[in-house]
Amino acid sequence: MPTGRNDRHRARTHAMLVAAVLAFLALPAGAQTPAPQGAGAIAKGDDPASRNFSGNSPNLGALRPWRRITIGTWRNPNALRAALDAARMHLGDSADEIIGRPAFAFSKTPVDLDLVVVRAADLGFTGHTPLADIHHRAAQLGLDLCPPETAPVLRLNYRDQPVGEFLHVAMAPVATYQGNLVNLAVANGGAGLILIGGEARPDTMLHASVKFVFVRPARVAGPDRDDGALR
């Protein structure tokens, strides 16, 4: 982010960031505690069923889309930042950084995405589970990771988010300049709508109550109404 923009936003976003972090920390104890380096990574042939997995699987055919968004309408990070700014939606520092990284791809054409919201528990997990296992299990059940552009576009569209809700956008992480792996979450910590970055190492441990946004591809048959996501 340019220096002038940082100066303009620093004071007014500080309280929002603090509120968002405090609300995030109100999740069950340990929900954001990383495991020791390398723990929980999925080896070839490994299955999450061996770790904190209940064996219960959702019926994805009955999983209704929660929200449809269109990506590919923004051509560069500065235009997207300007849109968020105009909507009085705020960016955390790491979120702002990765939006401008080369790995943060922007679709060249408009693409409609049907999004669903599921808890890790809805995927059959209990307790705390590595992020890689959660993504792996969702893929086994037919859900797709979101393109990186999904998170800011969802933030712009999801203006009635309830206070205290954090939705982790399931996506391939993007590395910061320091090499930290970051993913994005849309949140309402009580002081406004925000897009924040979070640790996204494969071994990052997340509680079964944490909510994720995935893409429900057309190949997963089911009703097309948007009033019944697992939330």
Instruction: Establish if 198 belongs to a structural domain.
Output: yes
Cα separation values, 214 from 33, 43, 119, 171, Å:
22, 23, 10, 8
| 3-state class (DSSP) for residue 76 | coil
Classify residue 222: in a domain, yes or no: no
**SS3 category, 129:** strand
For the purposes of burial, counting CB atoms within 10 Å of the CB of 115, is it exposed (0-12), middle (13-18) or buried (19 or more)? Answer: buried
Total count of domains within the chain: 1
Q: Determine if the pTM surpasses 0.85.
A: no
In a domain, 231, yes or no: no
In a domain, 229, yes or no: no
Query: What's the domain range around 155?
Result: 3-33+46-215
Residue 74 lies in a domain: yes
Walk along the chain (231 residues) and give the pLDDT tens digit of each residue.
Answer: 444 444 444 434 443 443 444 334 334 433 443 332 222 333 333 444 445 656 566 666 667 899 999 999 988 999 999 999 999 999 999 999 999 999 999 999 999 999 999 999 999 999 999 999 999 999 999 999 999 999 999 999 999 999 999 999 999 999 999 999 999 999 998 889 999 999 999 999 999 999 999 999 876 544 444 444 444
224 belongs to a structural domain: no
Residue 6 confidence (pLDDT) = 47
- On whether residue 221 sits in a domain, the answer given is no
Which residue is listed with tokens 């296992």? 133
Task: Give the model's pLDDT for residue 218.
Answer: 78
The pLDDT score that the predictor gives to residue 110 is 95
The answer as to whether 230 is a domain residue is: no
Q: What angle do CA 221, 227, 231 make, to 5 degrees?
A: 90
Distance CA 216, CA 116 (A): 6
CA distance 229 to 72: 24
